Structure 1
């Protein structure tokens, strides 16, 4: 029997009715027409934009350059104002109380560690000094700074030993900000202290410029005939004829004065101004102020010799700024090269020209905040010397004549009366305070020499 053939299923074919075919063809033609219309519209829009840009460019070309600049500036200002408003609206993240406490604890810990390291270094320096070796200027300053910090710890330790006394520590630090050692001083406190010192020195500079005529600079009794003639000729030029003396004459007259004589003839307002300018306490009698200023002058004189021996170039930028600040030389916003020139100018005038430190300090106060150059220093010295009043100029003239033995009794009588008034004022101060200040410190005791310090080796 032949095999049975299986009947295959017939494939299913979808037959589209003729009506549907007509509809699909019409839809396709409509889509093609829509695409064509959209492309035509796009081309028209691009052509319109090109025409608009061409017209705008043409209008801009017709405008003058100034109006274009004003338009650009207006746009820039508007953009900057928008950015400023957006930055102002953004809230800065405020540090929490816990963050402030952690920062304070970290600052205290770092200050304690720094103080321990400085004590360790200073102990080695003290042993070196006791062994007979000479300390350099940097080593001496390090030892002095650590000693001052240890002295400050004595009143600070009372708040730690006495129970519940630490509650009064913020009040004590507010009243006495220098009670803590220097290692615990923060950056903001240091910047505030320096800013206050700059403000004080500007005020003192204006005060000294306006009131220097109240005091007198008395000539010592060591003048010979040539010095008397030079002195008289110098003040004849600056007070009578208005001529400008030469630089050599100015330096020669400056060398006739002494620091102690200048300080002894300054009035109390000027003593207070000088103490403020040197960052010294301003309370106390005139004798206390003179003693403090003399002591600081002696320290500055010794430091001048040390810097001159080691060289100005050996100082770092921080040491250079500190040295200029201690001498009243402007250091804020001044380049290190300018600071080195100003400090070298101070050393040349003090050590080589033998100009007194008091006159240099007054000249620095005169030129503080102004453009300082070597000419401005000489101009300031000339201003200080030319501001002597008539009565004090007569007293200086008497000193010159007395050195030659040509002084009259009338001149001596006037000077004795003036000195008697000064003695009465000092006695009144002593009776009010009940304390006698033994002011036997002299700035001029140590003559200025150019001998180098001792050798560093034993």
Structure 2
């Protein structure tokens, strides 16, 4: 299915990308002097009956576009309205997904992401829906001031990059602490850079049962896992294990559906950020290579506990990929 979307401006030698909301898939477009022609192809996997049809819309913050101020405003309004529509669809799809989970059926990655993101998006539905209906032109300013009001379906590529840049600053500091901790444990950094050596590492920092509280806090902060105001180390460790179990499952789906090479820019950045891979100011291909390496190493792990060596390698390598 093709979608043609033209902007009344001229652009030579540039290339924009169209991202399909919900799928995270983007395909290159063809740019001519008469305007932008966005050729879009739907990517789907088997067993996607529970997921509603994605809302097709252009993200005005994707690189390679040359838009006037008016075009940007219209683009933002269209993008956020489409995101709200997709959110309503996801709320309905979540019920069907819950039935699949109860029946022990395997989810697609799109379904897994809806299951993961919808509960938080529901809390933002009313305030964000009010903005879309009443004052859509002020949404970019409102989100800049209050980023937490934006549902995941309405997060632009520009917002994703901005959030990733803030996370990278924090992770850079945690990376330095991790390198020191690894040295104290008597582990060679080179052993964490090669996939074949990760499974052979034997130390208390690689087992949840013997993981020290300070190490739990270090890893959780790096991976973006929050324990809450009154969470103790035990509760934080449980949340961290659940997060790593989720990543292991997500890695399997990324590999099984061959998605790493075709994820849209926004979804690519999200996937990398979830795994502690720095994203700000790094080339797209480097991010795909790092994500691909992570998923390949993850396939050899059995679950949350086995993921700890991979996470430590992420802390130690920071902006480099594991050698597989």
Q: TM-score, normalised by structure 1?
A: 0.42
Distance 1:165 1:292, change over 3 A: farther
Question: Do the aligned residues in 2 keep the contact of 1:342 with 1:373 (CA within 8 Å)?
Answer: no
**Structure 1, gaps ≥5 residues long:** 1-92, 218-234, 239-246, 375-458
Segments of structure 2 that go 5 or more residues without pairing to the other structure are: 1-65, 189-195
Q: Deviations over 1:85-142 (max 9, x none)?
A: xxxxxxxx9945x555434422322222222333343343334445x25242522322
Aligned to 2:238: 294
Mark the structure with the bigger radius of gyration. Answer: 1
Count, aligned residues: 242
SS at match of 2:200: helix
Instruction: Give the deviation of 1:158 after TM superposition.
Output: 8.1
Kept in 1: contact 2:272–2:287 (CA 8 A): no
| 2: CA distance, partners of 1:94 / 1:250 | 50
The reply on whether 1:210 has 2:180 as its aligned counterpart is yes
Tell me if the contact between 1:254 and 1:356 (Cα under 8 Å) persists in the aligned partners: no
Give matches, 1:174-253, under 5 Å. 174=144, 176-210=146-180, 251=200, 253=202
Shift of 1:193: 1.6
How far is the alpha carbon of 1:366 from its aligned partner?
0.7
Q: Structure 1 105/370 Cα, relative in aligned 2: closer, same or farther at 3 Å?
A: closer
Q: For 1:253, what is the secondary structure of its paired residue?
A: coil
- Structure 2 CA distance, aligned partners of 1:172 and 1:100? 16
- 1:274 partnered with 2:219: yes
d(CA) in 1 for partners of 2:310, 2:91: 36
Structure 1 residues 328 and 142: alpha-carbon distance in aligned structure 2, compared to 1, 3 A threshold = same
Q: Secondary structure at the match of 1:351?
A: coil
Q: Is 1:141 the counterpart of 2:86 in the alignment? A: no
SS at match of 2:319: coil
Q: 1:315 to 1:330 in 2, by over 3 A?
A: farther
CA gap 1:156/1:305 in 2 versus in 1, 3 angstroms: closer
Query: Using a 3 Å threshold, how does the CA distance of structure 1 residues 151 and 343 change in structure 2: closer, same or farther?
Result: same
For 2:73 and 2:310, the matched residues in 1 are separated by 47
CA distance in 2, matches of 1:291, 1:103: 43
**Partner deviation per Cα, 1:23-70 (whole Å, 9 max, x = no partner):** xxxxxxxxxxxxxxxxxxxxxxxxxxxxxxxxxxxxxxxxxxxxxxxx
> CA–CA distance in 1 between the matches of 2:272 and 2:198?
27
Residues 374-396 of structure 1: CA deviation (Å, up to 9, x unaligned): 5xxxxxxxxxxxxxxxxxxxxxx
Which residue of structure 2 lines up, in the alignment, with residue 112 of structure 1?
Answer: 84
Is the contact between residue 297 and residue 310 of structure 2 (CA under 8 Å) also seen in structure 1? no
* Partner Cα separation in structure 2 for residue 128 and residue 250 of structure 1: 33
Shift in Å, 1:313: 4.4
Distance 1:183 1:343 in 2: 24
How far apart, CA to CA, are the structure 1 residues paired with 2:198 and 2:86? Answer: 52
Instruction: Give CA-to-partner distance per residue, 1:184-241, whole Å, 9 cap, x none.
Output: 2222112212232333322321232235678xx8xxxxxxxxxxxxxxxxx7x99xxx
Following TM superposition, by how much is the alpha carbon of 1:282 offset from its aligned partner in structure 2, in angstroms? 8.0
* Alignment of structure 1 residues 160-179 onto 2, 5 Å: 173-174=143-144, 176-179=146-149
State the partner residue of 1:351.
302
User: Normalising by the residue count of structure 2, what TM-score does the alignment of the two structures yield?
Assistant: 0.56
Secondary structure in 2 matching 1:251: coil
Give the strand-richer structure, 1 or 2.
Answer: 2
Q: Which has the higher helix share?
A: 1
Do the aligned residues in 2 keep the contact of 1:155 with 1:179 (CA within 8 Å)?
A: yes
1:262 is the counterpart of 2:205: no
The structure 2 residue matched to 1:360, chosen from 300, 310, 314, is 310
CA spacing shift, 1:99–1:262, aligned 2, 3 Å? same
Contact 1:149 1:182 (8 Å CA) reproduced: yes
